[in-house]
């Protein structure tokens, strides 16, 4: 079940930054000398926007990397080819078990893309400085999304200042965001007494096992209540025993990644009546959604609401996600580049219908088989149909009928039987 954490994530300052970033990208695109530079510009925009939606610290780190690569390009270092950039992007899209490897691949792709840029103009330099100054100030502050998260944790995990037995997993896509968020929660007292643990890709295996074991123990035994995890750390983890709440600190653009996160708690063996999954939305989102609002919203709010519609769509088509997920991911990128305002998956869903029906048939068949097996086991228990009892019944029956007794023999593995 999806729930929303409303926040002023699209606050005036962040909206201004988003508009500045969009203006910067527009200037760069208009001056692009060829398709390779235009493609590189779009990649840089998407990368910066993802970090902006995550947290100021992640945005600043990416922006500084972009600025550093611009200076490298200014020194007339040989420009990479379009093919080189594509190889870097393919490498970045791989599944990483180590967050450091993922960050390095992203940094390399960002560097390659930036070196395809022509030298920045004075206006572009000014826009870069404005974004950097904003991010440096914001990095040391709690934005509205972090404040809303703190309020939620206090309400559900620490009501009246006392810890409950509830637990939550908070997922973020980036290690930089995880570190920043841990600092925020530490200032609020959520890390005291082993109440908060972190898990990330590339951490020591022994420490990883300790975190997993602590979160899998009963809250009566283990004090941990909050798990901060990155995507790279989530593969193969099952946390359904004592946790039924999950928060996406940012909505992944890849729908499969979102379902992988949800699958850590929304799976067979979950003890709670329902799993609660939370996402952040812009302030006023629910009012606009229920009133069929048709007025103007900022570009950033529009982007956030598009991502929210993606999250809701994923919830309704989980069975078809393997077929439709790629279409959704492509449309998300189009929306973030300003080329799309609506989400349309009807064609892909229709194409997936035969597969969905086949999967449903297989699931129904498995359920029927399980039901028959359970009925069979129950019948065996009621009638006491053990091999020993059956043998005794047959032996008595043969004796009463005046027939020869059973003759013992041996099976191929040497065991005795009749």
Tens-level pLDDT at each residue, the chain (418 residues)? 555 554 444 445 566 677 888 888 888 888 888 888 889 999 998 999 899 889 889 999 999 999 988 887 666 567 888 888 889 988 888 888 889 999 999 999 999 999 888 888 999 999 999 999 988 988 888 888 888 899 999 999 999 999 999 999 999 999 999 999 999 999 999 999 999 999 999 999 899 989 999 999 999 999 999 999 998 777 777 888 899 999 999 988 888 888 888 888 888 778 888 888 888 877 665 555 555 545 545 567 777 778 888 888 887 777 667 678 888 888 888 888 888 888 888 877 776 666 666 665 566 667 777 777 877 777 777 777 777 777 788 888 878 888 888 777 776 666 665 5
Residues of the chain with CATH 3.40.50.300: 144-346
* Rg (the chain; Cα; Å): 28
d(CA 205, CA 386): 46
Cβ-in-10-Å burial (0-12, 13-18, 19+) of 16 comes to: middle
d(CA 312, CA 320): 14
Supply 149's token pair. Answer: 């998260």
Q: Using alpha carbons, select from 50, 282, 70 the residue that is nearest to residue 177.
A: 50
d(CA 343, CA 336): 12
Cβ contact 225:219 at 8 Å: yes
In CATH, what number does 144-346 get? 3.40.50.300
d(CA 188, CA 62): 27
Cβ contact 257:285 at 8 Å: no
3-state SS, residue 298: coil
pLDDT of 401 reads: 82
Q: Using alpha carbons, select from 100, 62, 51, 96 the residue that is nearest to residue 249.
A: 51
Instruction: Report which DSSP code applies to 193.
Output: G
Q: Hunting for tokens 């395809």 — which residue is that?
A: 116
Instruction: Report which DSSP code applies to 250.
Output: S
- Where does 140-174 have alpha helices with state H? 144-156
pLDDT of 367 reads: 72
- Where does 291-408 have alpha helices with state H? 299-316, 321-336, 346-383, 387-400
pLDDT of 13 reads: 56
pLDDT of 327 reads: 84
d(CA 369, CA 374): 9
Which stretches does DSSP call E strand in 140-275?
168-172, 196-199, 226-230, 245-248
pLDDT of 286 reads: 58
pLDDT of 215 reads: 92
d(CA 209, CA 214): 9
Supply 33's token pair. Answer: 């000398």
Cβ contact 308:278 at 8 Å: no
pLDDT of 145 reads: 86
């Amino acid at each position: 079940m999806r729930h929303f954490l409303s926040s002023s994530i699209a606050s005036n300052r962040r909206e201004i930054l988003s508009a500045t970033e969009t203006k910067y990208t527009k200037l760069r695109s208009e001056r692009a000398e060829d398709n390779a530079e235009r493609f590189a510009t779009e990649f840089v925009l998407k990368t910066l926007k993802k970090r902006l939606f995550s947290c100021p610290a992640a945005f600043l780190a990416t922006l500084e990397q972009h600025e550093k690569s611009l200076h490298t390009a200014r020194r007339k270092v040989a420009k990479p080819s379009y093919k080189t950039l594509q190889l870097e992007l393919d490498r970045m899209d791989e599944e990483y078990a180590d967050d450091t490897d993922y960050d390095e691949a992203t940094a390399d792709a960002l560097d390659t893309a930036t070196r395809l840029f022509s030298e920045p103009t004075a206006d572009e330099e000014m826009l870069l400085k404005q974004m950097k100054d904003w991010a440096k100030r914001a990095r040391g502050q709690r934005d509205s999304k972090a404040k809303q998260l703190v309020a939620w944790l206090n309400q559900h995990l620490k009501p009246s200042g006392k810890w409950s037995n509830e637990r939550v997993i908070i997922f973020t896509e980036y290690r930089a965001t995880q570190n920043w968020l841990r600092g925020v929660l530490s200032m609020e007292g959520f890390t005291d007494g082993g109440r908060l643990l972190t898990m990330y890709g590339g951490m020591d295996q022994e420490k990883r096992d300790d975190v997993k074991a602590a979160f899998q123990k009963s809250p009566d035994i283990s004090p941990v209540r909050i798990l901060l995890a990155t995507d790279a750390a989530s593969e193969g983890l099952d946390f359904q025993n004592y946790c039924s709440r999950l928060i996406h600190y940012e909505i992944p653009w890849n729908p499969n990644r979102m379902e992988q996160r949800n699958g850590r708690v929304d799976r067979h063996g979950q003890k709670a009546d329902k799993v609660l999954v939370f996402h952040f939305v812009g302030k006023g989102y629910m009012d606009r959604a229920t009133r069929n609002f048709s007025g103007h919203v900022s570009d950033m709010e529009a982007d956030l609401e598009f991502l929210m519609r993606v999250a809701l769509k994923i919830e309704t088509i989980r069975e078809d996600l393997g077929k439709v997920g790629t279409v959704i991911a492509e449309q998300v990128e189009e929306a973030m580049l300003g080329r799309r305002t609506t989400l349309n998956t009807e064609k892909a869903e229709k194409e997936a219908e035969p597969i969905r029906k086949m999967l449903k048939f297989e699931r129904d068949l498995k359920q029927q088989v399980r039901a028959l097996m359970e009925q069979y086991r129950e019948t065996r228990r009621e009638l006491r149909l053990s091999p020993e009892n059956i043998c005794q019944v047959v032996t008595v029956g043969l004796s009463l009928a005046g027939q020869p007794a059973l003759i013992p023999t041996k099976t191929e593995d040497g065991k005795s039987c009749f």
